[in-house]
Structure 1
Amino acid sequence: MHYPIKVPGAVAAGIIEVFSPYDGKPIGTVECIDAKGAELALKNLAAVFHDRNNWLPAHERIAILERAALTIQARSEQLITIAIAEGGKPYSDTKVELLRAIDSIKISIDCIRSARGTEIPMQLNPASMNRLAFTHREPIGPVVAVSAFNHPLNLIAHQVAPAIAAGCPVVIKPARETPLSAFALVDIFHQSGLPVAWCQPVMIEDNNVTEQLVTDKRVAFFSFIGSAEIGWMLRSKLAPGTRCALEHGGIAPVIIAEDADLDKILPLMAKGGFYHAGQVCVSVKRIYAHRSIARKVATGLGALAGHMTVGNPAGVGTDIGPLIRHEEVDRVESWVNEAIAENAELITGGKRLSSSLYQPTVLLNPSVQSKVSQQEIFGPVICVYEYDNIDEAIEQANSLPYAFQAAIATQNIDTALYAFKHLAASTVTINDHTAFRVDWMPFAGLRESGYGTGGIPYTFRDMQVEKMAIFHSPSL
């Protein structure tokens, strides 16, 4: 599978090879751009946006998105195969992701249909007499989006579909490890009637070129999904006036009270922690369980982990696939071994199965100073900590510079509401895992976990500006 350069007028500056994270086999190639290609991509964005007479009207944007959704559905197995091969997420979960990508496009269509301005009251004082004012929404301008590897279909849909819906031309740079899904999706948007210059997927090997693309003064909005280190650095270099949204990682905390229904909650915690080998920004990572049940929670999770199938992500029965890079397995192994050396109790797992696979692992009472307690492990590891009172658990849950989604498991409404009030998080789920998400809800990292709010309607709104018209007439 090979994708040529997609920037009109640009010349390829090299080829990126894509390999399976599971077995290392080559699965495709993508041509990449250099500084000259990035400049052409920016010129293309600016040109189509500044030609206001040829902006895509709402009915055309709706038709393009409708055709794209139907085509993605028709090619679902092909797209699932590509995403599994390059990303390593098991088949059943990748199928869910593809359905979410289709839904993300449909939600974007709904955003177009429901977008509206408002009337601004006038004639409320002598100065505003004989006036009528209202607003409507226009596209903010050229968008540059940088995406992550862990959801190669739906993340692209989350960044590209709202841009199309809002009327913004967009350049999308997928992750180095998973560009094939992005290029395949953009091809579908083009085949569905979107002019090529309105959506240009690019691959870049030189980080300086990526920075050139993102920080150019012609960029009106920057969308980033990836590591905090890179996201905050790029935000600090944005041109004056460029707006942005950043989605980084977290170390999602869960509090399990002594009255929680463990039979119901533990399978959810196992899914939320081990889904996609823990490579999700809101994966269950820290569970604070009441001392009376903490060991039962840890051993119960260990038993569930022991029944999970780890292996080839293309296998229909596989629960956990590979980590995205072999060095990530090395890192996860190192962090777990360090935690055990610092007196964490290994309940289950704790071993690599191959250069790409790591066992689902449960640790009981790691030191709060261990890396597994302080940083996002982004691997299939869940840590369980004992607590004596809920305020102690909340204090520990809130102690890190990350805040995203959190959870509380309890049968007591007062306990649930208390945790909802006091947990530092943008979302608190009750009797569910932290990785729950639907694509029309707000999804926001706080503190170092991000900036702005994701979710299709929120991204759509961010990619527009509100413009006001004021009519002055003696007839009013």
Structure 2
Amino acid sequence: MSLSLKVYQAFDRAFITELPADDAAALDRKLDIAAKAFADRDGWLPAYQRMAILRKTSELLHDNRDRFAMMIAREGGKPLADAIVEVTRAIDGLVNAADEIRNFAGKEIPMGLTAASLNRLAFTTKEPIGVVAAISAFNHPLNLIVHQIAPAIAVGCPVIVKPAATTPISCVEIVKLLWEAGLDERWCQTFVTDDNTLAESFSTDTRVAFLSFIGSAKVGWYLKSKLPPGTRCALEHGGAAPVIVDRSVDVAAVVSPIVKGGYYHAGQVCVSVQRIFVHEDILESFTENLGARVAALQVGDPALKQTEVGPLILPRETERVSNWIREAVDAGARQLGGGRLSETTLLPSVLLNPPADAKVSQLEVFGPLTCVYGYRNLDDAIESANSLPYAFQASVFSSDIAVALRAAKRLDAAAVLVNDHTAFRTDWMPFAGRRQSGYGVGGIPWTMQEMADDKMVVLNGVS
């Protein structure tokens, strides 16, 4: 009996399509194909071909921009305006990977620094690490895939990519474009399944040299613990991103980027604004402005151009977020906004001063909610911001450079955004979680480094 995976619209759970799914035999066959492609060193694709394929794929994606954007809006629930931005980023990301090949090289290692190293020439070269197993997440169903497969192709690694079971269409379609652009299927394959046991087998197979995982910390750290000796990995998880708002700011000016960072894709972003620490001198004004801006957000069908906030990915996620909000309110937090529009769509809300031990203060919400806390002393706000076992991106808004620099220096984060929200990202910058938020470094050029090995060559007898 053939397996299949049914795909539904996030917003109204309407059926979209049914895709063929892979079983254990298909997985073994695909891993074998990838391993044999890598083992045939004479068959490795030269750099110019990899560049040409990536550029051609970018052109094809540009021609299909609107189709992909609607696909993202339907299967993932991202508002169409933001889905268009995602496709635009993916188009550029493919070119970014192609361009990086020009600079992807080793270096000379100095010799002759001791008597024993005389008459030698040493240099390093870059080699692909091997078969890449990529497991992706639902919230950016195209661009996250590009972040995993484009670096692998650029470096010369065979890659097998498993999309989220809720959003597989974008992945399948971008891989088809790569094949159309001239990439032999051996070098990029899809692995479509909703079987977690099979996904674990995929991740931990001895033929895999590198695991690229984007998703929950619980799953990512578990898979890392199961990897065979020698298998490398990169894990991209999430957090509960903190924002510090200093009393020197123009409140009306800073609320807009904070709202974008907190409610973009209904808060389903690994660095979404979640915990906002506001100086007491401006707390009332900030809260009033924030509440008004959140209440004005256009919520609804993500396929409509005017929609700013769409659904969560599954009904169970709306139940979870609603329960967390209810728990915080019962414990004394004050709620602004909120409510439910549909089975999967929550109206955006703000919680004022939820308890420090509430789930919304301790865990990643991944929903259309931000939490506001007052502070008097900057160092106290920084201490609260740093109090969780996650550390990804953080923000500080201030017109006082001394405050901004003090916060930037002391916030425990891989990146501190000054006068910008925590969800800002370009696809060529390093993107990495610290502590429980991740392992390794993302961002297309940085991922290429992760997926490569350095080989040193030493020539003796050079005079």
Q: TM-score range by the shorter chain?
A: over 0.9
Counterpart CA distance in 2 for 1:236 and 1:359 is 38
- Output aligned runs, 1:90-109, within 5 Å: 90-109=79-98
SS of 1:466 mapped into structure 2: strand
1:393 has 2:393 as partner: no
Aligned pair partner of 2:41 in 52, 58, 77: 52
Aligned to 1:73: 62
Aligned to 1:403: 391
Aligned pair partner of 1:62 in 37, 40, 51: 51
Counterpart CA distance in 1 for 2:284 and 2:223 is 43
Counterpart CA distance in 2 for 1:236 and 1:352 is 39
Please, which moves more after superposition, 257-266 or 245-254?
257-266
The aligned length equals 463
AA matched with 1:433:
H
- Output aligned runs, 1:201-220, within 5 Å: 201-220=190-209
- Output aligned runs, 1:120-135, within 5 Å: 120-135=109-124
Aligned to 2:224: 235
Counterpart CA distance in 1 for 2:451 and 2:2 is 31
SS of 1:343 mapped into structure 2: coil
How far did 1:13 drift? 4.3
Poorly superposed stretches of 4+, deviation over 6 Å: none
How far did 1:350 drift? 2.3
How far did 1:162 drift? 0.5
Counterpart CA distance in 1 for 2:129 and 2:367 is 37
Aligned to 2:403: 415
Counterpart CA distance in 2 for 1:83 and 1:442 is 25
Aligned to 2:445: 457
Alpha-carbon deviations, 1:330-389, whole Å to 9, x = none? 11111111111111011x222111111101101111111111101111000010001110
How far did 1:129 drift? 1.3
Counterpart CA distance in 2 for 1:340 and 1:121 is 64
Counterpart CA distance in 1 for 2:285 and 2:317 is 30
Give the conservation status (yes or no) of the 8 Å contact 1:311–1:321: yes
AA matched with 1:64:
I
Aligned pair partner of 1:165 in 154, 157, 177: 154
SS of 2:57 mapped into structure 1: helix
SS of 2:208 mapped into structure 1: coil
Structure 1 unaligned spans of 5+: 1-11
Aligned to 1:154: 143
SS of 1:436 mapped into structure 2: coil
- Output aligned runs, 1:112-123, within 5 Å: 112-123=101-112
Give the conservation status (yes or no) of the 8 Å contact 1:295–1:364: no
- Output aligned runs, 1:73-472, within 5 Å: 73-346=62-335, 348-472=336-460
Alpha-carbon deviations, 1:241-262, whole Å to 9, x = none? 0110000011000000111121
How far did 1:205 drift? 2.7
Give the conservation status (yes or no) of the 8 Å contact 1:337–1:350: no
Give the conservation status (yes or no) of the 8 Å contact 1:133–1:468: yes
Give the % identical residues: 50
Q: Superposition RMSD on alpha carbons, in Å?
A: 0.9
Counterpart CA distance in 2 for 1:400 and 1:234 is 22
| TM-score under structure 2 length normalisation | 0.99
SS of 2:197 mapped into structure 1: helix
How far did 1:295 drift? 2.4
SS of 1:378 mapped into structure 2: coil
How far did 1:272 drift? 0.4
Counterpart CA distance in 1 for 2:75 and 2:277 is 35
SS of 1:292 mapped into structure 2: helix
Counterpart CA distance in 1 for 2:48 and 2:191 is 27
Give the conservation status (yes or no) of the 8 Å contact 1:170–1:199: yes
Counterpart CA distance in 2 for 1:379 and 1:299 is 21
Alpha-carbon deviations, 1:193-217, whole Å to 9, x = none? 1101111111123211111111111
| TM-score under structure 1 length normalisation | 0.96
How far did 1:313 drift? 0.3
Counterpart CA distance in 1 for 2:316 and 2:193 is 22
Counterpart CA distance in 1 for 2:356 and 2:59 is 49
SS of 2:212 mapped into structure 1: strand
AA matched with 1:324:
I
Aligned to 1:9: none
Alpha-carbon deviations, 1:448-471, whole Å to 9, x = none? 000011000100111111111111
Counterpart CA distance in 2 for 1:304 and 1:147 is 32
Give the conservation status (yes or no) of the 8 Å contact 1:123–1:131: yes
Counterpart CA distance in 1 for 2:338 and 2:304 is 23
How far did 1:187 drift? 0.2
